[in-house]
Structure 1
Amino acid sequence: MKLLRLCVASLVYLLVQGSATPQAKPNIVILFADDVGFGDLSVYGHPTSSTPNLDKMASEGLLFTQFYSSSPVCSPSRAALLTGRYQTRNGVWPGVFFSPSVGGLPLNETTIAESLKDVGYKTGVFGKWHLGVGKDNEYLPTRQGFDTYMGIPFAHDMCPCLVCFYPKAPCFDQCQTGTTPCPLFHNEEIVQQPVDLTEITATLVKGAESFINSAVDQKSPFFLYMSFQHNHHPQFAGKMFTNSSIRGPYGDSLSEMDWGVGQIFQFLKNAGIDDNTFVLFSSDNGPSFVRQIRGGNGGLLRCGKGTTWEGGMRVPGIAWWPNKIRVGRTMELAGTVDVFPTLMSLAGGKLPNVTMDGVDMAPILFGNKKSGRSVYIYYPSSPDPKLGVYAVRWNQYKAHYYSNGGLAPDFYPDEVCRGNYSLHKYNPPLLYNLHNDPGEIYALNVKDYSNVMKQIDDAKSAFEAGMVWGESQMGRGLNPQYEPCAKPGCTPFPDCCTTDGVSEILRPDMSIAFV
């Protein structure tokens, strides 16, 4: 009898094991900030920022100290994130897209969303796009692999009449003229124009919740790209966060973004999928100094947005996946261009058959191993094929071949960060040891580091020899008729491009199914 019981128990065990489903593909969430600098988050050392949810994410995950964007401005950096290729390859140069831009992220470029769809993922983007709209919405996310899109397709400072979002504060931003009001898209339909920025974060967060729940109901893995408008100028926050931070308008806006991050984590927990979800937080570029104290902070790094100094391109990076990703800090070299190959490794997807600039970050994330890269390339906000690469990092050393000013005002203490600082060529290059001198204050004597400079020169030459510049999408110009308008063909254009009221998508219950 005992033997019979043992046989039955063994059979049950084998049946259960045989019927067990394989490990599900991980859900993927990218939380992407706008103009949030290396020194803006409390976990990165800012003394008056309040970012408890990002702090918690960092305490439970892996915090990068050497994480980079591909560009010091947003359109090219977002293109590189989604394609794993430098903006010079995919044509998103020079500068950024505007509301009437003719061009956009080329449709022959393969995005993360397209590759994940091929392996069964639901895909959604909520928030800022800034990779073009074009004629008849030809460059919107729905044409680039995303099942669902809700958000503003460009930066909110590109809209007319930037209102005062702080009722008890002076208005610092002037009205712009000649452009349509900022639209809020749901897929390819404009559902609000002008968008209410004081409500948009709650709207997008609620939309993301519905997207997550829909994917869970369909038992489908999902890719959520949560692209915040925060903390681009003009600063804004909803009623709950206005005048809530001792850091002022920037702190209020940062707190609202952090709240949104916390909501996403709560949705994952409520759905019971937090233990099978990979989450990455980063920023599109360094902090903007154009609004001075109402702008971001690069911490101990030099300069900010618009420059190839460290403050322009080294950004926060936090990875999270409970019981999978190691907890702590890493000083290994990585960047947003590495996200695509990493996600394909996690999801079992295939990389497109093109030159990729990213490398898989798995050795850093899942073990205490070295990065797959030793070189990082710095292009300016407006690359020029005649000049090529502006700076190169090799291991801890960085050489500047060129530099130009960024968005800092003309009285900014460091002249190389100022908007009026013209293009400079350095011969010999300016060389820094970033491990000892992350602020790029003390240039090394190049003659004493000839072996290092040879390594950097060789890396630069090898990279540029393999660079095939994509056709400039910004070079295709502007066409005011391509500006998003809720009432196509209305007159007088663009003044008439407004919606009357809001559509169902903006009702408080947000009762809509995302498919």
Structure 2
Amino acid sequence: MKVLLPLLALIAMVPHSALRAAPAPPNIVLILIDDMGYGDVGPFGSKQNRTPAIDRMAREGMKLTSFYAAPVCSVSRAQVMTGCYGQRVSVPGVFQPASRNGISDQEHTVAELLRARGYATMCIGKWHLGDQPPFLPTRHGFDSYFGLPYSNDMMPKAKATGTPVVPLMRDDKVIELLTGEGQNQLTQRYTDEAIKFMRAHQHQPFFLYLPHTAVHVPIHPGARFRGKSPYGRYSDWVEEVDWSVGRVLNTLNELKLASHTLVLFTSDNGPWLTQGADAGSAGPLRGGKGSTWEGGMREPTIAWWPGKIAPGAVCDAVAGNIDLLPTFVQLAGGTVPQDKKIDGRDIMPLLLGQTHVAPREAHFYYNNYQLEAVRAGPWKLALRPQPEGMGKPEPPDATSPGLRLYNLDTDIGERTNVADAHPDVVQRLQRLAAQMIADLGDGRRGPGVRPAGVVAHPTTLYPVALEADDASAGSPVAVGTLKIGDAVGKAAAPQVAHRPITISCDVEAKAPNGVIVAQGGSAVGYALYLKDGHVAFVVRTAGDAATTIVAPVPLTTRTHLEARLQAGGAMTLLIAGGIVATGKAPGLLDRQPQEDFCVGFDNQKPVGHYDGATHFQGSIEHLQVATDARP
């Protein structure tokens, strides 16, 4: 008792406020739309898509008008999860089904760090960071998962039916195989799952990551929305997304959680401009998905937190999805681990209106492992020619090798190169670019790049139908009858996975640039092409940067070309029988490319840095692609 009485006296002296439990950290909801353009919603200028819920979100919250993602989806998702540029964590492009690579278990993810702070965590929607067991959401900090493991256009045929399908998963199990029409309930189902999760965890902090399948092609709005917009099915799906956002916000209000929840709405990359009526709009921005023009990476972004974020606020400071991990973790009362470098910074002071100064000196525009531009303040320096999107050419005003400087405050559409008028700005941005290149590289991996996750023997999530007969392995593929402008579907294309490849042809060129032959795209493939008169051979192995070798002298006459990819990744380029260039790729192609085999052009995503849209000018004859038997 003699000990207890003094102790009780001390406790009595402590203020009651100090004895109360610390306030619970706020809930966090991240809504990520797929392929939505900057100009696709009302707060960012859309006049055709009706988005009342998103309009309300902007009125009650903050628009972030210089918020950046990446040119393509897997890269953006890696950035969200890790707080790093995708290139730092070896996610430079898009993962295909049954890829051997995915997000590494050595990376700290935002879900893991929030779960360690007591958060319930759930991912609902498109994951796209690898579909093998070690890469799935439940291995990276999420208590549960419901959604598609990759894009809704990746639909290998089911062996049982021969029908193209995409797997719907719960946690680590496939629960349904969805046909195209089966996708029209996804937005409804995702939204129902999100509301169920929020209700179930209303008494503890939660992190809800809601990466919608919408509005990626193929476009599948739900029955309630199909045909409702006068502007077509793309607008139908945008309006269904808006309905989903409204249900999330209304549920938070109903549960009296709105004042204790940060909701952030954004997109993973710009609109896919080559999809015609199924494409979105970048509004005033130039370019789209697959490009490092503003329209490819600058996203419509809104932050909503009633009582914390001032209503109707606008922030034009540079920020991006690499900043979400440190922002969310520090908001939850945690500390960002220091054992691995991350690129993002806490942007909560921006969201709360405490500052208008960006927390990072610069933002870097990577496309695969190529650094294409850098922005600091209003200034953006383009370092090399840039196509305006997947399947789009390099525009005439951006084909020269010189630097281009844009003032985005006065020229948001990137139309006027002012490099000559501001040499001091050019030099400053060049120095920033050089620092990043020394870290992450430029075309090749730099010392700051960490490895992706890898599995030795990837398998598909469901039994798939074989797409082509392997009987032709070891013999030249019969492509010699193809002419410029012809494309062969992946089922009948040369079978090049795990095999040495030799491409040979006779070429006469009448223009300095053009694709000779291409098979594959930004994930895996090869191409033989002309660039400024020089023959180039590029190889991209899954999960790795493209490796390009170039003839040292330009092509001036009709001649015989040969390009070889051999065991171990050895690359050789021959002109008229003589070796003119050699190089070393990481290895053979580790899977069959999903894109077409194209002669004289490239109709989808380029393997390397070339314009695939314009047909080759000249002749391509006696084309052969020989594939040796698998090692």
TM-score w.r.t. structure 1 length?
0.81
Asked whether the 8 Å contact 2:156–2:465 carries over to 1, the reply is: no
Q: 2:307 matched to which residue of 1?
A: 323
Distance 1:180 1:248 in 2: 24
- 1:448 deviates by 2.5
Partner of 2:401: 426
Residue 148 (structure 1) aligned with residue 144 (structure 2): yes
* Letter of the structure 1 residue corresponding to residue 171 of structure 2: N
Q: Is the 8 A contact 2:37 2:271 kept in 1?
A: yes
Tell me the CA shift for residue 376 of structure 1. 0.7
Higher CA-based Rg:
2
Q: Do the aligned partners of 1:100 and 1:478 also contact (CA within 8 Å) in 2?
A: no
Match of 2:206 among 214, 217, 222: 222
| Higher RCO (Cα < 8 Å, 6 or more apart) | 1
The reply to whether residue 392 of structure 1 matches residue 374 of structure 2 is: yes
CA contact (8 A) 1:53 1:259 kept: yes
| Counterpart for residue 514 of structure 2 | none
Structure 1: how far apart are the matches of 2:87 and 2:222? 37
2:171 aligns with one of 156, 163, 187: 187
Going by fraction, where is helix more abundant, 1 or 2? Answer: 1
Which of the numbers 232, 237, 259 marks the counterpart of 2:243?
Answer: 259
SS of the equivalent of 1:379 reads strand
Correspondence list, 1:342-421, <5 A? 342-352=327-337, 353-369=339-355, 370-380=357-367, 382-383=368-369, 388-407=370-389, 415-416=393-394
The secondary structure found in structure 2 opposite 1:393 is: strand
Query: Which of 101, 104, 122 is the matching residue for 2:102?
Result: 104
Comparing 23-32 and 285-294, the one that deviates more: 285-294
Match of 1:281 in 2: 265
The 1:373/1:181 distance shift into structure 2, 3 A limit, reads same
Q: Deviations over 1:426-468 (max 9, x none)?
A: 32x1111111001000111x33211101210111112222333
1:216-245 deviation line (CA, Å, top 9, x unaligned): 2xx320000011111111111111000011
1:179–1:483 Cα contact (<8 Å) kept: no
User: Which deviates the most, 242-251 or 194-203?
Assistant: 194-203
Q: Aligned equivalents of 1:144 and 1:456: distance in 2?
A: 36
How large is the Cα RMSD of the aligned pairs? 2.7
**Equivalent residue letter for 1:194:** L
The change in CA–CA distance for 1:179 and 1:443 in structure 2 (over 3 A counts) is: farther
Q: What CA distance in whole angstroms lies between the structure 1 residues aligned with 2:121 and 2:273?
A: 34
Query: Percent identity over the alignment?
Result: 35
Query: CA separation in 2, counterparts of 1:280 and 1:460?
Result: 29
Gaps of 5+ in 2: 1-11, 441-446, 468-631
* Comparing 396-405 and 240-249, the one that deviates more: 396-405
The two structures have a TM-score, normalised by structure 2, of: 0.66
Cross-structure match for 2:63: 63
Deviation at 1:359, TM superposition (A): 1.0
Deviations 1:384-408 (A, max 9, x none): xxxx411011111111112332546
Residue aligned with 2:128, SS: coil
For residue 441 of structure 1, what is the aligned residue in structure 2? 415
Residues 160 and 180 in structure 1, CA contact (< 8 A), matched pair in contact too = yes
Between the aligned partners of 2:405 and 2:21, the Cα distance in structure 1 is 54
Instruction: Report if the CA contact (8 A) 1:307-1:403 is conserved.
Output: no
Alignment of 1:448-487 (within 5 A): 448-467=421-440, 468-470=447-449, 473=452, 482-485=459-462
**How far is 1:333 from its partner?**
1.0
Measured after TM superposition, the shift of residue 477 of structure 1 is: 10
Give the Cα–Cα distance (whole angstroms) in 2 for the partners of residues 493 and 409 of structure 1: 28
User: 1:392 touches 1:398 (CA, 8 Å); kept in 2?
Assistant: yes
1:363 Cα deviation (Å)?
1.8
Matched, 1:121 2:98: no
Q: Is the 8 A contact 1:91 1:469 kept in 2?
A: no
Pairwise CA distance, 1:41: 0.6
- On the 8 A contact 2:380/2:405 being kept in 1, the answer is yes
Q: What's the counterpart of residue 504 of structure 1?
A: none
- Contact 1:393–1:456 under 8 Å retained in 2: yes
Task: Report the CA distance between 1:157 and its aligned residue.
Answer: 0.6
CA contact (8 A) 1:401 1:425 kept: no
Which amino acid in structure 2 is aligned with residue 231 of structure 1? V
In structure 2, what is the Cα distance between the partners aligned to 1:453 and 1:206?
A: 50
Change (3 A) 1:240 1:478: farther
Alignment of 1:18-57 (within 5 A): 20-57=20-57
* Other structure's SS at 1:142 match: helix
CA contact (8 A) 2:293 2:386 kept: no
Match of 1:315, SS state, is: strand
Aligned to 1:300, the other structure's residue is in SS state: coil
- Residue by residue, what CA displacement relative to the aligned partner does 1:2-26 show, whole Å, maximum 9, x if unpaired? xxxxxxxxxx9x9975664432110
Q: Which ranges in structure 1 are unaligned for 5 or more consecutive residues?
A: 1-11, 163-176, 495-515
**Residues paired across the two proteins, number:** 443
1:181 Cα offset (Å):
1.8
* 2: CA distance, partners of 1:29 / 1:151: 16
After superposition, the C-alpha distances for 1:407-438 in whole angstroms (9 at most, x for unaligned) are 4666xxxx536xxx9x95632x1111111001
- Give CA-to-partner distance per residue, 1:347-399, whole Å, 9 cap, x none: 1112122111001112211124122123110001x22xxxx411011111111
